[in-house]
Amino acid sequence: LSAATTAVIGPGVSVVITDPGRGPDLSDVAKQRLPGTGQVILDRDLQLVVNSLWASGAEAIAVGGVRLGPNVTIRQAGGAILVDNHPISSPYTVAAIGPPNTMLDNFNRSTGLHRLRLLEASYRVGVNVSSADGLSLPAGAVREIKFAKQIGP
């Protein structure tokens, strides 16, 4: 499942993060809060949520409808957050398939949710974490292999 070669449907956890609107901007190079825009959530916040969900027992994850697999990145380019070079915007939805009860228990104690709760208290970021019965995640993008070398006999 983590290779993201096929679409998957199953139970899991959904995390929806919503920027508060006009307020601090964290997208400058120095990663400091600047007045003027509504963007509070950064790529590293989504990365932390994703890593916390993997550690919580997720078997497959999509961010903004883009399936995560090998060589897929979540990164910031200017003010945009890109997942596998696809721009996404608030509200950011992270869907993770896996055992919902175990994932919720573990995620509730994770650094990812702790970070979101701090942003919620400090900047009015919206955070909604819930279990879901019928999550549907697409297959990931097919990657062309440009170089391969046999190891061993």
CATH code, 91:
3.30.70
User: Tell me, what DSSP letter sits at residue 108?
Assistant: T
pLDDT at 4 over 80: no
Structure tokens that stand for 79 in this block? 């003010």
In this prediction, residue 70 has a pLDDT band, given cuts at 50, 70 and 90, of confident
Give how many domains the chain has, as a whole number.
1
Could you give the CA distance from residue 153 to residue 142 in angstroms, rounded to a whole number? 28
Asked if residue 13 belongs to a domain, the reply is: no
What integer pLDDT is reported at residue 39 of this predicted model? 78
Residue type, 77: A
Asked if residue 32 belongs to a domain, the reply is: yes
In this prediction, residue 74 has a pLDDT band, given cuts at 50, 70 and 90, of very high
pLDDT at 24 over 50: no
- Domain of 87 in residue numbering reads as 18-137
Asked if residue 37 belongs to a domain, the reply is: yes
Asked if residue 9 belongs to a domain, the reply is: no
Asked if residue 144 belongs to a domain, the reply is: no
Measure CA of the first residue to CA of the last residue in the chain; give whole Å: 28
Return the C-alpha torsion angle 77, 87, 39, 119, nearest 10.
Answer: -100
Asked if residue 119 belongs to a domain, the reply is: yes
In this prediction, residue 23 has a pLDDT band, given cuts at 50, 70 and 90, of very low
What does pLDDT average to over the chain? 88
| Angle 131-89-83 from CA coordinates, rounded to 5° | 80
Asked if residue 150 belongs to a domain, the reply is: no
Instruction: Please identify which residue in the block is written with the tokens 């549907």.
Output: 136
Structure tokens that stand for 65 in this block? 């409808």
Asked if residue 4 belongs to a domain, the reply is: no
The more confident residue out of 37 and 124 is 124
In total, the chain counts a number of residues equal to 153
